[in-house]
Amino acid sequence: MENKNSSITTQEVDFAQWYTDVCKKAELMDYSSVKGFIIYRPYGYAIWEEIQKYLDSKFKAVGVENVYMPLVIPSSLFQKEKDHVSGFAPETLIATKGGKNVLEDELIIRPTSEVLFCEHYKNIIESYRDLPKRYNQWCSVVRWEKTTRPFLRGSEFLWQEGHTMYESEEEARKDALRMLEIYDKMGRDLLAIPFVKGIKTDKEKFAGAKETYSIEALMPDGKALQSGTTHYFGDGFAKAFGIQFQNRENKLQSPFQTSWGVSTRLLGSIIMVHGDDNGLVLPPKVAPTQLVIIPVQQKNPEVMKKAHEYLDLVSKLGIRVKLDDSDRSPGWKYAEHEMKGIPVRLEVGPRDIANGVCVLAKRNDGQKLVVKESDVKAELPKLLDTIHDEMYKKAFKYLLEHTTEAHSLEELEKILDRGGYAKVMWCGDQACEDKIKELYQATARCLPFDQVPFEHKCLVCGKKAEKVVFFARAY
């Protein structure tokens, strides 16, 4: 689509400014008076609600229950798991005073809730009959970030965090992978975003985890965005917090733990993966409004009557629809709703009514379809599915075209400068991983599950290597 919206910086001129323009102009968010704490405006929050609805139903289908944990963590409790504490210490916001009293045990505003769940689980788990515990909470967390950007990296962000306890290591490991699969399907079926999924290197894994798995999305500027993670903790947290249960042999045993989460960072993925120089392009299944009706010559009673008929028809199909009967011109409305990424626009005017048709305009490619009024009921749901598939295929094509094997450091540098994933053979030594970050400001995103070695020597040191790692510059 050609650029029609002069209020948005083009991606080619300044991608970062384009992103900020879209966040603001599409009314997804606004800045607050505290750096890194944004206001989620109704339209932005509505997208998050669609993600919540999808995931909440998937979680409950596998036995997960929602809970809510306190906002604050006593510092003494937070110190119980040393690896976890060291990972989050630089990012914690701490309350030192309550009213007029200085707190003896300072309160940490939760950066994540492992310790809160462990404290609770210690009180309610006594026997193997109490397991498994599959809890999730929808909440916000605070991490005092130095550099912030709306949705991508904030001092406060919204997310869900699942925390589970199992009788056996096998069950816990299966849970971590099962939840990763739910996230991957969310990308494919809801967000129209293809993810690379795999296991994190030890350097990049979550503080205190035995293993961390992630879904990684590739942005159009060639940078990767970690879009969700699941973690297998083993029994380390359980032992640190004294969580034990009577097992089936009447012996005391520590349970095995997982956690998993996605955040409003997903909104950043949607904006960047699909957006264009006119603004947002929302996948139909996550769009708060899937279709907008624009009456042309709305002072004409017949036009408004027909517009309301379409509104009633589309609503009954279960499609999220809006009739724009504001006193703006049709051209202004077209540009406004394009900027907000509404998947389909239905135009109806006197000539359309006379011919028994309406015009359906697709946001993702600008194509206009003239559809008989009698066919709208059948064609519209199919059109929304078609748009979703087209958006996914476009993003998947970009991912494939920007995933390249690197056979030398020179090739690696070229791949990273062009943008995208560099597939690297790696010996497993962190020194080699660190070297790539030092030289090229790129990090190991994950070791993909579908390991297909293409050489047998490490790209950095030349030693024997059997592991394929995806490296990229990242947000």
pLDDT digits (tens, 9 = 90+) for 286-338: 999 999 999 999 899 999 999 999 999 999 999 999 999 999 999 999 999 99
Q: Name the nearest CA neighbour of 359 among 287, 282, 306.
A: 306
Q: Name the nearest CA neighbour of 257 among 160, 176, 363.
A: 176
Q: Given the structure tokens 């990767």, which residue do they identify?
A: 224
pLDDT digits (tens, 9 = 90+) for 2-60: 556 788 999 999 999 999 999 999 999 999 999 999 999 999 999 999 999 999 999 99
Q: Given the structure tokens 């020194």, which residue do they identify?
A: 431
Q: Which structure tokens are listed for 266?
A: 């997903």
CB 352 within 8 A of CB 293: no
* CB-count exposure of residue 168 (10 Å: 0-12, 13-18, 19+): middle
What is the three-class DSSP state of 37? Answer: coil
Q: Which residues, 6+ apart, have CB-to-CB distance to 421 below 8 Å? A: 196, 218, 224, 402, 403, 404, 415, 445, 470, 471, 472
Angle at 295 between CA 289 and CA 296, to 5 degrees: 140
User: What CATH code would you report for 403-472?
Assistant: 3.30.110.30
Q: How far is CA 88 from the centre of its chain?
A: 21
Q: Which structure tokens are listed for 418?
A: 């062009």
Please compute, for residue 157, the number of CA atoms within 13 A of its CA located in the half-sphere on the CB side. Answer: 25
H/E run at residue 371:
strand 368-372
CB 379 within 8 A of CB 356: no
Q: Which residues, 6+ apart, have CB-to-CB distance to 21 below 8 Å? A: 7, 8, 9
Q: Residues in the chain with pLDDT < 70?
A: 1-4, 81-88
pLDDT at 84: 57
d(CA 427, CA 464): 6
pLDDT at 87: 63
Residues pairing with 361 in the sheet: 345, 368
Amino acid at the residue 399: L
pLDDT at 244: 98
d(CA 402, CA 420): 5
Q: What residue spans define the domains of the chain?
A: 15-274, 291-383, 403-472
Q: What is the pTM of this model?
A: 0.95
User: What CATH code would you report for 291-383?
Assistant: 3.40.50.800
Q: Which residues, 6+ apart, have CB-to-CB distance to 263 below 8 Å? A: 157, 158, 159, 160, 228
d(CA 138, CA 445): 26
d(CA 361, CA 296): 14
Residues pairing with 72 in the sheet: 109
CB 347 within 8 A of CB 337: no
pLDDT at 71: 97
* 183, 184, 187, 188: CA torsion to nearest 10: -140
d(CA 100, CA 89): 26
**In 274-356, where do the E strands start and end?**
291-295, 321-323, 344-348
d(CA 251, CA 127): 10
Count of Cβ atoms closer than 10 Å to residue 160 Cβ: 20
pLDDT at 80: 73
Task: Determine the straight-line distance between the first and last CA of the chain, rounded to whole angstroms.
Answer: 27
The domain over range 15-274 is classified in CATH as 3.30.930.10: yes
Number of H helices, E strands in the chain: 14, 23
d(CA 424, CA 459): 7
pLDDT at 32: 97
CB 29 within 8 A of CB 23: yes
Q: What is the DSSP string of 446-461?
A: EEESS---S-SB-TTT
